[in-house]
Structure 1
Amino acid sequence: MQPRSLEPWKTLSTKIIFEALPWLTLSVEEVQLPDGQVVSDYYHIQLQDYVVVFVQLPTDEVILLRQYKHGAGRVSLTLPGGGLAAGEPPLAAAQRELLEETGYEAEDWQLLCPFVTSANYRCSQGYVFVAKNAHQIAEPSSGDLEEMEIVLMSPIEVIEAVQQGEVVVLGALTAIALALNPNFRY
């Protein structure tokens, strides 16, 4: 069965409704579908693009952070990561976030995959990295509003934490699933 060729929608106009840079822009677009139909009120949500880093030490232990996540309304285990600054390449952001949040740097870096948070509204672009052979060179100094605790776990303990519902952030879950899948290749 031959897949049919699908055409992208055309954006005819965009009107910003609300903006709180760099965190959020809400706009309404007028779009034209491939069949010619025009939709005059297609909403687009733009959040800050971000990175998530699955980090392993030479011992294979994984660096996680235990912190309160206000969007989830609870404490969760998560991975180092954060927003990209304007014009900042994703790898540079991943390296900066790892150092700020944990005080670690890593020798080996690999982009596992970029992904869009919401297929219909975009929201943000996430970049999942794996960093290996990490070692601590400084004390954490994220400057974030969030208190966090560094937690080192074996890969098996990370899987158990996911199964017990201790990891609730989608980007962290995605990174863990991809990083611990020996058959995944990007």
Structure 2
Amino acid sequence: MAWKVLKDETVFEHAPFLRVRKEQVEVRPGQIIDDFYKIDLRPFALIIPFLENGKVLVIRQYKHGPGAEMLGFPAGYVDPGEPADLTASRELMEETGLQAERLIPMGAYVDNGNQTGSTGHYFAALNCRRVAEPAPGDLEEFAYEELTPDQIDAAMKAGQFSVIHHVAAWGLWLMHRP
């Protein structure tokens, strides 16, 4: 049974990045929680770029969340009103200069089952080729590596991918690959 939201109040907002809401919810008839907090973060698209040579382009960069340098795949925020597949193509181009022959959607998932967090839209980009120089933005410094799928598996087992979204994307690929 879905919970019934009786009241929804924004208690903090730093648009467009973060909003914290306090809800009053009825979880079942007569049982009310007065202060159920939800966190809304921007949706994102994450792309696994498979190159024409069969390898995958990964990005090595510092991520402030884990406070460490890590491996990951290209990703970026979905702009308001923008379809996630267009975000995926745009971010792939901006961060890597690559264009995909085919984009495979692998699903959209919420990263926190109770507080919402953000929704990730996951894609595999097949037969990618360089058509431009990367232009990732002023706060992002990237080093690029081409890895085989076996090398990605090993890097994940070694903890070099430290953000769950990137690990989840690889697991989705293993389920969706043609």
Alignment TM class, shorter chain as reference: over 0.9
Residues 31 and 144 from structure 1, CA distance in 2 versus in 1: closer, same or farther, beyond 3 angstroms?
farther
CA distance in 2 between partners of 1:167 and 1:153 (Å): 13
CA distance in 2 between partners of 1:79 and 1:36 (Å): 46
Q: What is the aligned partner in structure 2 of residue 50 from structure 1?
A: 44
Residues 184 and 138 from structure 1, CA distance in 2 versus in 1: closer, same or farther, beyond 3 angstroms?
closer
Aligned 1:19-168 pairs, distance under 5 A = 19-168=13-162
For 1:145, give the aligned amino acid: L
Deviation at 1:22, TM superposition (A): 1.2
For 2:140, give the aligned amino acid: E
Aligned residues: 177
CA distance in 2 between partners of 1:61 and 1:50 (Å): 24
Q: Give 5+ residue unaligned stretches, structure 2.
A: none
Deviation at 1:36, TM superposition (A): 3.1
SS in structure 2 at match of 1:65: strand
For 2:14, give the aligned amino acid: A
CA distance in 1 between partners of 2:172 and 2:54 (Å): 16
Deviation at 1:184, TM superposition (A): 4.3
What is the TM-score when the length of structure 2 is the normalising length? 0.96
For residues 86-113 of structure 1, the C-alpha deviation after alignment (integer angstroms, 9 at most, x for no partner) is: 1111101111110000000101111111
SS in structure 1 at match of 2:5: strand
Q: What is the aligned partner in structure 2 of residue 3 from structure 1?
A: none
For 2:149, give the aligned amino acid: P
For 1:131, give the aligned amino acid: A
CA distance in 1 between partners of 2:97 and 2:158 (Å): 28
Deviation at 1:159, TM superposition (A): 0.7
What is the TM-score when the length of structure 1 is the normalising length? 0.92
Percent identity reads: 35
Q: What is the aligned partner in structure 2 of residue 170 from structure 1?
A: 164
What is the RMSD of the two structures over their aligned residues, measured on CA atoms? 1.2
For residues 29-59 of structure 1, the C-alpha deviation after alignment (integer angstroms, 9 at most, x for no partner) is: 0111133311110001001111111110121
Runs of 4+ in 1 over 6 A off after TM superposition: none
Q: Which is worse superposed, 113-122 or 138-147?
A: 138-147
